[in-house]
Amino acid sequence: MTTLDQARRAVVLVLVVLSLLLVPSVATARFTAARTPQLVVGTARMDTPAAVTGTYRCALPFFTESVSVSVGGFDDAGPAGATYVYTLSGRNTTRSTTSSGHAASLSSATVANDLSATTWTLTIQSRLGSWTGRPWTTTITCPGLGSDSGAL
């Protein structure tokens, strides 16, 4: 190896060491002023309806029985624009379904009276597009003989 090659290698080595020492100090940055974010992002969730208000009425006309339900409203902290599916079931069958806002009325078709108490189930479930919330459910027990009414 000639003296010129050794000198060239020494100069390259010095340049590499200097670049490793100087380049990081040029590339450092620090933030001097705090700023509040312009956009806050969160997630939405489908909540279960709460504090449901309304009434029910059990009827026994001519050896048949039926129930009608009127939901006056409820609290829902879910996203705006949701619709609600109301389902009234009894005797192991869905008797009435409707989709509405915070209020709805449902009535079962009349069924033969079996002279024993009938338990009806009212379910309210929120929907937004393909999202669904957990359902709110209550049971209504109508007597086998005689009419009845009450609050949900």
In a domain, 33, yes or no: no
| Three-class secondary structure of residue 99 per DSSP | strand
**Mean per-residue pLDDT, 69-86:** 90
Name the residue range of residue 140's domain: 50-151
Nearest of 106, 113, 95, 105 to residue 59 by alpha carbon = 113
Per-residue pLDDT at 103: 93
The CATH number that applies at residue 133 is 2.60.40.10
In a domain, 26, yes or no: no
Q: CA-CA distance, 146 to 22, in Å (whole number)?
A: 94
- pTM (2 decimals)? 0.69
Per-residue pLDDT at 42: 75
Per-residue pLDDT tens digits for 122-142: 999 999 988 999 999 999 999
In a domain, 12, yes or no: no
Nearest of 45, 43, 46 to residue 126 by alpha carbon = 46
Q: Are 71 and 53 in contact (CB under 8 A)?
A: yes
Per-residue pLDDT at 80: 83
**Residue 11 region by backbone torsions, left for phi larger than 0, else alpha for psi between -120 and 50, else beta:** alpha
In a domain, 44, yes or no: no
Mean predicted lDDT score pLDDT of the chain: 87
In a domain, 31, yes or no: no
Q: CA-CA distance, 151 to 52, in Å (whole number)?
A: 10
Domain count, the chain: 1
